[in-house]
Chains A and B, each alone.
Chain A
């Protein structure tokens, strides 16, 4: 029996009476971790459409590695790792196509000078994050999703949680120095 699910902008046909398949389990897992997947992809790519494409690729990879996903001790860390790899692959291909893959932040239309200043600072922060060394940048990107703690980030990157914390501190120090240097006339 076919049901039609209505969602904003798209209608999907699914078989509601069909027996549950492993792919359904993966789909459930993907739905459960959708926020994590998109947040990781967006944190790496900083581009909405690219992040959606990377999330789609991540889902297909999860379908391919469904048994490893089923036996993973920490499913969130596993999903985040796959999402990060997809986003990095997407970033590399995007860099090959264009110079700056980072999406420009929209500035507020009203004439509030403080708000405009905040947006400019945020844009500068993103550009500074993009110029960090890769080992520090990966930690900060995962930390910025707000979905993972130090232990899970360590599992995603294959490093101890203490190393994650030390890299976070080093990254923040570097960002602080870059921001100070930017503010000095």
Chain B
């Protein structure tokens, strides 16, 4: 027995050598084949494997895409996710016309016009929804002439002045009618005189 110094490293090395020798004997006795004999009984379904891996990859790709694109990407996904507005019906179009919005064919309209028309249709749809589906939509009134617009503005600005103008207009109208009658009488007399002179000659 060595009593001078304990050589623990040497003992551990010998123990490791024993383990290695035992391992080598186990390998030579075919432990690997005995370990893997149960493999065919536990083969999983390849379809489920594929589906699970594909789902995991899609999930990972989505998370990575969201992380990369940041806030803008999340907003884009939110817009796509949001429910699209309902298509405009004939009633919506009539409401749009009644409110003075132009209906522009989509193929001739640029993006801005399409946006305005879409907004008008949505508003018309909301108004029609508030009114109820059975409420008729009245056609727009005929446009005012220039004179009517002037009179309308004047009436709003000074109603007394409008009355005065109306009275003057009626007086002028009566005077013109009187002048017309006088002129017609003179014309008739003149024609009658000319005819008498001719008869005398």
Majority-rule SS of B interface residues: helix
8 Å CB contact of A8 from B16, B30, B40: B30
CA distance A143 to B13 in the complex (A): 10
- Which residues does A use to contact B, with CB under 8 Å? 5, 7-10, 12, 15, 21-24, 26-27, 30-31, 34-35, 37-39, 42-43, 48, 51-52, 55-56, 58-60, 63, 117-118, 121-122, 125-126, 129, 140, 143-146, 172, 175-176, 179-180, 183
Verify B38–A60 contact, CB threshold 8 A: yes
CA distance A21 to B18 in the complex (A): 36
B146 CB within 8 Å of chain A: no
Verify B35–A56 contact, CB threshold 8 A: yes
Give the residues in chain B near A180, CB-CB below 8 Å.
Answer: 6
Please judge, given known A-B contacts A30-B32, A38-B31, A56-B34, whether A63 and B14 are in contact too, CB under 8 Å: no
Please judge, given known A-B contacts A8-B29, A12-B37, A34-B35, whether A175 and B8 are in contact too, CB under 8 Å: yes
Give the residues in chain A near B23, CB-CB below 8 Å.
Answer: 35, 38-39, 42
Please judge, given known A-B contacts A35-B27, A52-B26, whether A146 and B16 are in contact too, CB under 8 Å: yes
The contact sample of 23 A-B pairs, CB cut-off 8 A, is A8-B29, A8-B30, A23-B39, A23-B44, A30-B32, A30-B35, A31-B36, A35-B23, A35-B24, A39-B19, A42-B23, A51-B26, A52-B26, A55-B26, A60-B38, A125-B15, A144-B16, A146-B20, A172-B8, A175-B8, A179-B8, A179-B11, A183-B1
**Closest 5 CB pairs between A and B?**
A7-B30, A27-B36, A59-B35, A34-B32, A31-B32
CA distance A125 to B15 in the complex (A): 8
Verify B42–A125 contact, CB threshold 8 A: no
8 Å CB contact of A34 from B9, B12, B14, B27: B27
Verify B19–A146 contact, CB threshold 8 A: yes
CA distance A126 to B8 in the complex (A): 12
B192 CB within 8 Å of chain A: no
